[in-house]
Amino acid sequence: MPRYGFVIDLKRCYGCYSCQVACKAANFTPQGIDWARCVPAETGSFPVALRQMLPLVCQQCKEPACKEVCPTGATTQDENGIVLVDKDLCMGCKACLMACPYGARQTVGEWQTYYPHADGGLDPYESYAKKQWEKKNGYGMATKCDYCKDRVADGRKPACVESCPAKARTFGDLEDPESDVSMLIRRESGFQLNPEFGTDPACFYLPPR
């Protein structure tokens, strides 16, 4: 069985937020909920200062901190290493939000319109998105990135990987030593974020400049 993983090349990312938007379009996440995100940071001080973006997705850890604190058994791992939340089992205690070191989990209150001042409620596009969201997800429980599981099952790549104009993101099988992700990790010294939490993420990063 493959273990799906990401390699994100920090040298290539220039922070255009395409991944964040593409994820929203593909997964119909409600307002304020982003399964793929870009986080900026700066280092140094004028005149020698640097800015770097960190694109985040769920790290699909082998030892997920979120699963360790989940009291209802709603959090599971599938055969590809993807960490999933069963929306019918989750009670929305938010323990996983506190335990995840990568901020990968968010809870959804209710569907909020983007156009609160418009007449006539949700526009057709919003109602469509709301319907799609409710089909697979819902409100109150924790939600998270699943590496676009359904798209991958159809032979496509996750939406954020397809959309990245800098080609900073690579998706593949970590178990296969010949896969693009495995080669990149070996050749360009890929690393995992904050290994001190013992989570063993499936998302690897290539060092920034």
Partner 1 sequence: MDLKAQNKWGWMIAVYLFLAGLGAGAYFTGVVASFMEGEGWSAAAKIGLVLGWPCVFVGAMFLIADLGTPKNFWRAFMKPGTSWVARGTIVISIFMALNALHFLVWIIGGWDATEGARQVIGVLGAVFAFGTMVYTGLLLGANRPIAFWSTALVPVLFLVSALSTGMMAVMLVAIIGGESHEGAIASLARLDIMLIVLEIVIVAAYLQGAHRVPESRASAKLVLNGAVAPLFWFGVALVGLAVPLVFELLGVYGLDGSGASAATVVAAIGGLIGGLILRRVVLAGGIQAPLRAGRFEFALPEMRG
In the complex, which residues of this chain contact partner 1 (CB under 8 A)? 10, 30, 32-33, 37, 39-43, 50, 52, 54, 56, 65, 68-74, 88-95, 97-103, 106-109, 139-142, 191, 193-194, 197-198, 205, 207-208
Q: Which is nearer to partner 1, 152 or 205 (CB)?
A: 205
Burial (0-12, 13-18, 19+ Cβ within 10 Å), 66: buried
Please report how close the Cβ of residue 65 comes to partner 1 at its closest, in angstroms: 6
Measure the CA angle with vertex 132, ends 127 and 134; round to 5°.
Answer: 95
Q: How many residues does the chain have?
A: 209
Q: Which is nearer to partner 1, 86 or 176 (CB)?
A: 86
Please report how close the Cβ of residue 18 comes to partner 1 at its closest, in angstroms: 18
Which residue matches tokens 């690579």?
A: 170
Q: Which is nearer to partner 1, 71 or 165 (CB)?
A: 71
Q: Which is nearer to partner 1, 93 or 166 (CB)?
A: 93
Residue 55 · residue 13 · CB < 8 Å: yes
Tokens representing 138 are: 């819902």
